[in-house]
């Protein structure tokens, strides 16, 4: 309903996998706890501290009936692929 999509990322994912997912997401905004910031601060994402995210400037979230989330495949055939799921409004 907020108009923002999310993509869960694993803190234990290898750096190359994280970098590829962030690149595919197109410079996303990442909420990360302080101890994980270094894993995603590669320039491929804008990183906000998970505990201070409420103090960030307002974001353009897009339309509420657009993309809901992106899940990445296991990558067993090579590079993980993002599967985009649109929101469903009743």
Measured in degrees and rounded to the nearest 5, phi and psi for residue 51 equal -85, -15
- What digits encode the pLDDT tens for the residues 47-68? 888 777 566 666 666 666 678 8
Mean pLDDT of 5-12: 86
Per residue in 14-43, pLDDT (tens digit) is 888 888 888 888 878 888 888 888 888 766
φ, ψ at 52 (rounded to 5°) = -115, 10
Q: Return the number of other C-beta atoms located less than 10 Å from residue 85's C-beta.
A: 12
Length of the chain, please? 90
DSSP state, residue 57: P
Q: How confident is the model at residue 72 (pLDDT cuts 50, 70, 90)?
A: very high
Gyration radius of the chain over CA positions:
14
Answer whether 48's CB lies under 8 Å from 31's CB: yes
Residue 85 β-bridge partners = 69
- Indicate whether this model's pTM tops 0.75: no
């Amino acid at each position: 309903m907020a108009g923002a999509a999310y993509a869960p990322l694993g803190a234990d994912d290898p750096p190359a996998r994280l970098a590829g997912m962030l690149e595919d997401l197109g410079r996303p905004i990442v909420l990360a706890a302080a101890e994980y910031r270094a894993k995603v601060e590669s320039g491929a994402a804008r990183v906000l501290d998970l505990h201070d995210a409420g103090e960030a400037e307002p974001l353009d979230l897009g339309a509420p009936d657009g993309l809901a989330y992106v899940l990445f495949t296991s990558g067993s055939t090579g590079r993980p692929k993002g599967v985009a799921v649109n929101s469903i409004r009743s």
